[in-house]
Amino acid sequence: MAEIICTSHGMQSISFTSMDISKIVTKKKKLDDLVVVKLVLHLPFEKKGTFWIDSDFLTTVVGIPFENTLKTYEVTDEERAFDIYTELHAVCSKCLKEVIARRLG
């Protein structure tokens, strides 16, 4: 498992998220105008990963239209899931949890 040295939390595990959320997490800002959803990717070797992404990433990178009623989206094709995974950005897992908690809390 990879780790990151966070200026707020020290050595932490890495979480992956969309670029827009990553920028907000890095700048310690709020997710004011972003619509946040969960994305489940079926990655190779029978592993699933769950990631927080914004609705723009969902439509432009993942290629799934955003529906206001859904909060979790899933990509089951492993090759497509891996391609999407490579577009995600690494952030401090604690910082991401704090930003998401403020948004959803």
Per residue in 71-84, pLDDT (tens digit) is: 899 999 999 999 99
- Residue 88 pLDDT exceeds 90: yes
Contact 94, 12 (CB under 8 A): yes
pLDDT score of 46 more than 80: no
Which pLDDT score is estimated for 1? 66
The half-sphere exposure of 9 on its side-chain side, counting CA atoms within 13 A, is 18
- Name 97's Cβ contacts closer than 8 Å, sequence gap at least 6: 15
| pLDDT greater than 70 at residue 105 | no
Q: State percent of the chain over pLDDT 90.
A: 67
| Per-residue pLDDT, 36 | 92
Give residue limits of the domains in the chain: 3-104
